[in-house]
Each structure stands twice: as structure tokens, then as C-alpha cells.
Structure 1
């Protein structure tokens, strides 16, 4: 699933391609929006909010989209063949005289009044990449339920908007605790929140997400850009202990996510051990 930094990059690409331009193509391929037509309206901006994208157009309208697991916006020069997937996966097409943005496999697509944006993003916590970032409020929300496992608290977008599974795993490792540690038992919650903001801010400008410093990254061949995520069974980059993986619940059935941890570096509960 794209995380906050990836969505921020997508918003910047869309904004660069569309903002300030008049739409000459508008095709929203969902039953509820099939008759909506944005042609003739100028795109004002494309703004990220956590993992949500808000494309604002002239006339007080916002096209809200969410990428979830495998959605994507692709941008093509006008007239170029679209190559992001088969035609039946296209959910939205927005075109100007110079560029065409094509939304593939978008599970969420809404057209609403810009004044009503809070209806779809008002529940989100502070966004480390947004102008509303408030570390104190993020910390307050994260610790509001001290007994909740830290991994689940980090994945809850009502606490910090934009933190996904990769960052959850990496932040727990950098804090040297397992994702199942009760959030209230975290020794330095302020440090975790600050590290999350720092990593997201750094990675929004990078083509490949990186959480490891060069001294650690280059120890492995090929160089490893993440400490734990996706490395089950391989040696920890810090202590060499094999990395383990289990599921952490998001709080809803079917929303479990793989959680990686190093038994040598991280303290706290693990599945089957309190």
C-alpha cells in the first residue's frame, strides 16, 4: 500500500501536470460519477492528505481518490498510448491540452464540494508532510489508548496520517521495541514521532524509500535500504539475528498486516509470548 511519502510524490506529479490548466477530457468510470463532467474547469491544485489525494477544480469541486493497495495515477503526454494496465482497470481520466492523468485500479473515487472535504479526511490525524503537522497532537492521539499495541496505533490513520506498514515496522525497529508492545510502555514516544516525521520528510524527495544510513546499508550486498521490512528469515543488519514476521491486527477483521521484527534488537511482546 502506498504510504504518505509515495502519495505526496503522486500529488506533486499530478499538480505539476494539471494545476493551472483547463480540463478538455473528463471521464470518471464509476457508476455514481458516470454523468459527472469536469470539462471546461481549471484544475486549482492537487493536495495530499495522509494517503488521500484531493484534486480541486474550479467551481468549488474536489475529486477525492485513495490508492489503497494497488491504485495508481499515471501521467502521459497528450496523445501518447496509456500503458498503466488494461482499459477495464481505468477509473478516471483527466486531460488537458498537454497532459493526461489516468487513474488505474482506484478503489475510492468521490466527487464532492471542496467545502465538504472534511467529510472524507476530517477523521485523519496530523500529517507529517502536511501544513497541519502537530507533533504534540500526534503524540496525544498515539498514546490515547496506552494498552493498544504500538503497531496497531501507528497504522491507525486517526493518529498519524500517512504512516503505513513499512514505516510502522521500521519505526518500531528504530525504537527497539516490537509492534506488540503497549503504546503506553514506549520509553521515548516523542522520539518515535519525531523520527517518523523526519523519515517521511526525507523520503518524499527520494525515488526509493530509505530508512538505513550508509554505514548500515552498505554492509549488505546488495545494499539494503530498509532495516526489516520484507526481510523475513534474513539476518538483521545490526545484530545478525534472523528477522521474523507475523501479523499485527489493524483493529478490523481482514485488515491484518505483516509485522517484521528482530528478536535480538527489539524488546516487548511477540505473538505467543507476553
Structure 2
């Protein structure tokens, strides 16, 4: 059955037809939502709520945008409600996470356990750059963050982002420009990977801990970002970061589980999580 016929059935209330259409972009939707909320514990619920709300409202779908854009709008509104209850992250959030991990033997043991036992517990520097990009994006106002991620990670057009955020194309372009400028400035002053004057070299430091036999310089030189750092300006380096991040699925990468624990450590350090060992992580505490 073609998409047009499926869409007609879905709009008439056929949940199987709607599910078939939803499944075509579900993985991308989950990846997008994770980049916004950075919490796998809430991700499935938010994705499920998006599906239910979209299906319940499907009769109002006027097709002035694609079904995907319309569903992403619903998901974005749900994520917005989730995020506006929380404080915006500061650029030093990763530093605070590092301090917490250094001061907690139990947390470090969780990192080692996940790294050693999980099939998605590897550490790769390029994936940590993706993690870093997500963290820095969360220093932006929510609408700037959403616009940047939709445009540069998931190839939504400015008009589609305007539909999702209910803003004019001119406003969306302004949000994107501000987001790029802010993140470029933060990276320039923080990232020591490509700037010797930066204050953060976390990706390389963790690589030395978890990949001690791996040649550090060889790993660095694998990254086009590092190769280009001597000849490109800061805007071009930001574009290279985006290109690298766009190629990584934060939910299905080789180090997904490892970075989830680092992210949880970060959210604990800044007060979004009361206790690193909440919920199922109690088993890590008891096993340590």
C-alpha cells in the first residue's frame, strides 16, 4: 500500500496505518528527543506520549506540512513542557560531572563495569565529541536548541522548523544564527582538542583512561576535526563538529551505554538527578 493510501486510512482513524507511517521516522524522532532531554529513562515515555497524542489528534491533521513535521511538532511541544521545568545548563556542566566522578569511587566503578560488560560500553573519542556537542547545545535557550538540532542534525528546512515552533522563517533564521554564534564561541574558549588555549580536554583524558593501549596521537589524527584545526577558522571547525555529530546516533552507537552513565553523572552533578544510583542503578551500587 502506498503512503497516500496509508495516510488516508490513518486520518480516518486506522491505528495500524498510523503506526506504519510513524515507524518510518520513529528512530529519528527518539534520537532527536534524546538530544533534547538527555534522559533515556524518560525517552520511551515521551515517544509513547507523542504517538498517542498524535493519533488522538490525527483528524486535525490538515496536511499543510508533512506528517513527520506535524508529529515532530507534537513531540517538540511535549519536550518543551519537560525542559522548561529545568534550568538551562551552564558551559561548565561537564567540569562539574568530572569533579563528581573523580570524587566518587562508586561512580567510577559503574563506568568501568559498563565499559567492560556492556555491548554498547566502548569509548570512542568521536562519540564523546557528540556527547560534548549535546551538552553545549543545552546551554542555549530551548527554542535556539530545537532550531539548531532540527536544522543541522535532522535536515529540517527553515519553513518546517517555523511550522514546528510556530515562528516566521525570519525568526527561525535569527534563532539559528544566535545558536551557532553562541556554541562556536563556547567551543573556541573551552575545547582544548583543537585549541591549546581551551580549558577542556575531557575526550582525550577519558580515552587515556579507558583505552590505555591505544596511541593517543593516532586516535586524534583519525578525526578530521583535529586534522583541520590548524587551517580552518572557528566557524569551519564548528561545521566539522556538526558533520561528525550528524553521523552518530546517540542511542545506537558503540558507546551508547557508557555515555548514558556519564550523562547521568553530569545531570547528578548539576542537580537534575538527586542520586546517581536511583532506580535500576541500585544494582550497580550493590554489585560494587
More strand per residue:
1
- More RCO (CA 8 Å, sep 6+): 2
Q: Same fold (TM over 0.5)?
A: no
TM-score, normalization by structure 1: 0.26
TM-score, normalization by structure 2: 0.25
